[in-house]
Every structure is written in structure tokens, then in C-alpha cells.
Amino acid sequence: MNKLHQLYTYILRLASHAKASYYLFILSFTESSFFPIPPDVMLAPMCLAKPSKAWKFAFITTIGSVLGGVLGYIIGKFSFDYIEPFIQKMGYMMAYQNSVHWFNEWGFWAILIAGFSPIPYKVFTIAAGALNMAFLPFIIGSALGRGARFYLVALLVKLFGEKIDYILKKYMDRIGWGIVIIIALLFHFK
């Protein structure tokens, strides 16, 4: 985990770089298909440093994430047998199996909910391709789910500043699961 921590620290440093918007896009793109660090860790500090550009940063993150999701979808559709051992090695197999269950249970809504889920989004994009999810609903669900998540991060940082930055870093998984539970309950009692 030391290498992952070093990578995380490096990404935080990139948040203050002159070309940070480009790095944010690249991080968002790669995280949706294969990279382990979520873009929130770069988005929040960038919104904190430049609150007037928070919506722009959320937009960049959303577009990068959706386009990266397309790559994940393609990987799942055409290369799943090849990458399955890698998914197991990285410890994502249970998350992958959960995502398959979500797709079987909720279909389109699984990709939308996945935007908030602490389960790595790349797992859902790869599963969507492997399960041959219809492409247009995949794009729409990705844009809505990921967009809602990143715009929520930008809004919270704009409203609460540094206080929310600490809370997001410490409790992002719990917040994500809370939102997933609320959405699931809404579907259940609908």
C-alpha cells in the first residue's frame, strides 16, 4: 500500500499544477476503466482552491469519467477473459460479482447507482460491457450517476470549504454507501 499512498500524494500535488484541469480529466478517464484512485481526491482540492471554477471542474471530471467508462465497457465486452485474472489479483472479483448481481437485479439503474457506490466504478463499466448492457442506457446512466456524484462534491466544497474536504476524505465510502442505501430503499418502496 505504500506505493498507492505515494501515488495518492502525487495526485494531490497535481491538483495545484497549472495544467491541473488536464490531469483531472486524465485521472477521471483512467479511473473509470483501470486506475485505482478516484478523481474525487483531485476534484475536491481543486474546487477548494478555485471555488469559482467548481462547476467547470465537476464537468471535466464527469466527461472524463464517462469517456473512461466507455473504455471500461469495451474492455469488458471484448477482453474480459483476458483481464479476469487481473481483476482477481487486484482483489476486485467480489466487487465484480456484486456489480453483476446489481445488473441482474436493477439493470439500467445499477450503472446510475454505481456512480455513488464505493465499489470502484471501473468494475461496473467492465461488467456492463461483459454483460452486453445496451450502450446508450450505459452512457446515460454513467453521465447521470457520475455527474451527480462530482457535482455534489463540487457543491459541498463550495458550501462548506475546508470542513467538507476533511469529511469527504475521511467518510467518502460511508457517504457513498448511504446514498446507495437510500436509492435502493426508494426503489424497494416505490
DSSP secondary structure letter of residue 117 = -
User: Is the CB of residue 29 less than 8 Å from the CB of residue 65?
Assistant: yes
Question: For 21-56, what is each residue's pLDDT tens digit?
Answer: 999 999 999 999 988 788 988 898 888 888 899 999
Helix (H) or strand (E) holding 182: helix 162-188
Q: Which domain holds residue 85?
A: 2-188
pLDDT in tens, 157-169: 888 887 776 666 6
Residue 131 contacts residue 139 (beta carbons within 8 Å): no
Q: HSE on the CB side for 150, CA within 13 Å?
A: 30
Q: Are 73 and 126 in contact (CB under 8 A)?
A: yes
Counted domains in the chain: 1
Whole-angstrom distance, CA of residue 172 vs CA of residue 53: 22
The CA-to-CA distance between both ends of the chain, in Å, stands at 42
Centroid of chain to Cα 118:
8
Stretch among 57-71, 81-95, 173-187 having the lowest mean pLDDT? 173-187
How high is the pLDDT of residue 182? 60
Q: Is residue 44 packed enough to be buried (19+ CB in 10 Å), middle (13-18) or exposed (0-12)?
A: buried
- CB-facing half-sphere around the CA of 117: CA atoms within 13 A: 23
Report which of 34, 105, 106 is spatially closest to residue 73, judged by C-alpha positions. Answer: 34
Whole-model pTM: value is 0.81
All 3 cell numbers of residue 167? Answer: 469529511
Which residue blocks in 33-107 are alpha helix, DSSP H?
Answer: 40-49, 54-89, 93-106
Q: Give the separation between CA 70 and CA 61, rounded to whole angstroms.
A: 14
